[in-house]
Structure 1
Amino acid sequence: MPVGTFHFSGAPEFNDPMAPKQQAEIKAVVDSLLAFRPTKVAIERELKDSTHVDSLYRVYRMGEYDLEVNEVYQLGFRLAKRRGHGAVYPIDYKLAWPMDTVNTWAREHQPSFLRFQKRWGKQMETIVDSFHRNETMRQILLHLNSDRFLSRLQAIRMRTLEVGAAQNYIGVEPPASIARRNMRIFANLLAVAEPGDRILIIYGTGHSHYFREYIRGHPQMELAHPKDYL
Structure 2
Amino acid sequence: MNRVFCFLSALLIATSVYAQPIPKIKILLLGTFHFGETGDKGSVSFNDLFSAKRQQELQQLTNQLARLKPDKIFIENEPSQQAHWDSLYGQYRTGNLDTTSTAMRNEIFQIALRTARKAGLPRVFCVDHHQPLPYDKIAAFDQRVSKDSVALRKMATYKLLSLAYPYPGKTKKLASSTLSDYLRYVNSAEYDAGNRADYFIYAPTSGYDNDYTGVEFITSWYDRNAKIFTNILRQAEPTDKFHIVLFGSSHMLPLRHYFQMHPYFEVIELMDVLK
SS across alignment from 2:76 = strand
Match of 2:131 among 78, 95, 99: 95
| TM-score normalised by L of structure 1 | 0.88
Aligned to 1:59: 91
Aligned to 1:192: 235
- 5+ residue gaps in structure 2? 1-27, 37-42, 147-151
Match of 2:223 among 177, 180, 189: 180
SS across alignment from 2:258 = helix
TM-superposed CA distance for 1:133, in Å, is 2.6
2:34 partner amino acid: H
1:114-153 alignment to 2 at 5 Å?
124=169, 127=170, 130-153=172-195
Q: Runs of at least 4 residues of structure 1 off by over 6 A?
A: 110-113
Aligned to 1:19: 51
1:213 partner amino acid: H
Aligned to 1:69: 105
SS across alignment from 2:127 = strand
Deviations 1:127-165 (A, max 9, x none): 27x421321100110001112211210122112123104
Whether 1:222 and 2:266 are equivalent positions in the alignment is yes
| TM-score normalised by L of structure 2 | 0.74
Match of 2:254 among 202, 210, 222: 210
CA distance in 1, matches of 2:65, 2:87: 24
1:80, 1:88 within 8 Å by CA — same for their partners in 2? yes
Deviations 1:150-182 (A, max 9, x none): 121012211212310433101112211111110
Whether 1:49 and 2:108 are equivalent positions in the alignment is no
CA distance in 1, matches of 2:145, 2:198: 18
Aligned to 2:39: none
TM-superposed CA distance for 1:108, in Å, is 4.3
Percent identity between the aligned chains? 30
1:23-34 alignment to 2 at 5 Å?
23-34=55-66
How many equivalent residue pairs?
221
Deviations 1:97-145 (A, max 9, x none): 21122023124426899xx9xx97xx65xx27x4213211001100011
TM-superposed CA distance for 1:52, in Å, is 1.2
1:174 partner amino acid: F
Whether 1:8 and 2:52 are equivalent positions in the alignment is no
The answer to which structure has the higher helix fraction is 1
